[in-house]
Chain A
């Protein structure tokens, strides 16, 4: 089953962190508001985007590092990289549409082949999508198998290595790397 990567802030999806927000009133069928911040985005002018940008990941995750490197190289600074992997089946089962569209990273191949937008968004579908992701995540946490988690973090150190790897492998155009060279040494 193919996967799709979405950049998130991991702590918005972690039960341990929600517990601090006084969610004892939350209905068991409801979800905390935090994950919505990662699914809904605003553009530079503050307008709500009605599509969700995601990246296609092969089922064996063979292009995962390459995509992370491409996205991280497009940032201003080396930093942690938090991401969510969503199964394609989950996306389509809720009635969303996936549309291939050119990405905007330093990796031309990734831009042309692996970037998609999720369309046909609605409030009801989005909440159900998040619920589904969180339910899956809870199962994983219950078994304490973080290595199989669909939400993960690469440390700054790992990101630096990945960008350098992408540079050496000619995955990314060095002139399009936005992270300063001094941060990559």
Chain B
């Protein structure tokens, strides 16, 4: 279990995409913390802002993760009490984990048969992920969709849900992703983006739709764009 997975396991709550939790545990997994090891020994996953040596014995530890710092406290009289603050220096790792979760969700979606208007395992997991990791998840989804690292029909389904979710905190990031997707090379993706924008009902999309209609080569997609444009203009 990586440090990040441990954080997630102990606390599903996140704040602004950064895990936040306070948890007393009886035992620290040696993979999580550097027992008699320095940050150098931990590899690339986690890097600490100071060299640390911790006695390898079970003890009640309190771990608090906030923003980019992780506070580890040992208050037991049996062992040498300590308090160390570790900097989570690599947000990239945090995002790597989100990316892995998205990959897993997309992989499992391959065996689902989506039905318009119906929730699916895919949609439930995607919505939960976006609400948990907020803009970080959208940034990664955007990268994966725009760089064609995901199956287009599943990406198309994702875009519908990205437009449908009612979640103010991520509205702007989701809107930007839908707008970017209007010019994607795959019509499946463009189709998902149009539906997403229709569901989002944000009239700010109007000028982008007008521009996309001019460049759209597929009659069917252009027809949809015109329809959504009309819907948004009449809001």
Chain A 99-137: CB-based contact to B (< 8 A → 1; otherwise 0): 000000000000000000000000000000000000000
- Pick out which of these stretches binds chain B: A22-30, A75-83, A87-95, A167-175: A75-83
- Using Cβ atoms and an 8 Å threshold, which residues of chain B touch A77? 117-119, 164
State how many residues of chain B have any CB contact under 8 Å with chain A. Answer: 27
Q: What's the least CB distance linking A80 to chain B, in Å?
A: 5
Nearest A-chain residue to B227, judged by Cβ: A155
Q: Which of A1-53 contact B (CB under 8 A)?
A: 7, 9-11, 14, 16-17, 20, 37, 42
Q: A80 near B195 (CB under 8 angstroms)? A: yes
Q: B117 near A75 (CB under 8 angstroms)? A: yes
Q: B187 near A76 (CB under 8 angstroms)? A: no
Question: Quick check: is B199 within 8 A (CB to CB) of the other chain?
Answer: yes
Q: B187 near A17 (CB under 8 angstroms)? A: yes
Q: What's the least CB distance linking A152 to chain B, in Å?
A: 10
**Interface residues of chain B: helix, strand, loop or mixed (majority):** helix
Q: A153 near B187 (CB under 8 angstroms)? A: no
Q: A78 near B220 (CB under 8 angstroms)? A: no
- Using Cβ atoms and an 8 Å threshold, which residues of chain A touch B152? 20
Question: Quick check: is B218 within 8 A (CB to CB) of the other chain?
Answer: yes
Nearest B-chain residue to A41, judged by Cβ: B113
Question: Quick check: is B68 within 8 A (CB to CB) of the other chain?
Answer: no
Bound state CA distance, A64 and B221, in angstroms? Answer: 23
- Using Cβ atoms and an 8 Å threshold, which residues of chain A touch B187? 11, 16-17, 20
Q: What's the least CB distance linking B140 to chain A, in Å?
A: 24
Given the interface pairs A77-B118, A82-B116, the reply to whether A155 lies near B198 with Cβ below 8 Å is: yes
Q: B188 near A20 (CB under 8 angstroms)? A: yes
Q: Which of B173-224 contact A (CB under 8 A)?
A: 186-188, 191, 195, 198-199, 201, 218-221, 223-224
Given the interface pairs A17-B187, A20-B188, A157-B198, the reply to whether A81 lies near B116 with Cβ below 8 Å is: yes
Q: B227 near A79 (CB under 8 angstroms)? A: no
Q: What's the least CB distance linking A146 to chain B, in Å?
A: 6
Question: Quick check: is A156 within 8 A (CB to CB) of the other chain?
Answer: yes
Q: What's the least CB distance linking A5 to chain B, in Å?
A: 14
Bound state CA distance, A141 and B195, in angstroms? Answer: 22
Question: Quick check: is A144 within 8 A (CB to CB) of the other chain?
Answer: yes
Bound state CA distance, A72 and B152, in angstroms? Answer: 25
Bound state CA distance, A37 and B219, in angstroms? Answer: 24
Question: Quick check: is B231 within 8 A (CB to CB) of the other chain?
Answer: yes
Q: A157 near B231 (CB under 8 angstroms)? A: yes
List 25 contacting pairs A-B, 8 Å CB cutoff, sorted by A. A7-B116, A9-B114, A10-B220, A11-B188, A16-B219, A17-B187, A20-B187, A42-B113, A72-B117, A75-B118, A78-B117, A79-B116, A79-B117, A79-B195, A80-B116, A80-B195, A80-B198, A81-B116, A141-B219, A146-B220, A155-B227, A155-B231, A157-B198, A157-B231, A179-B117
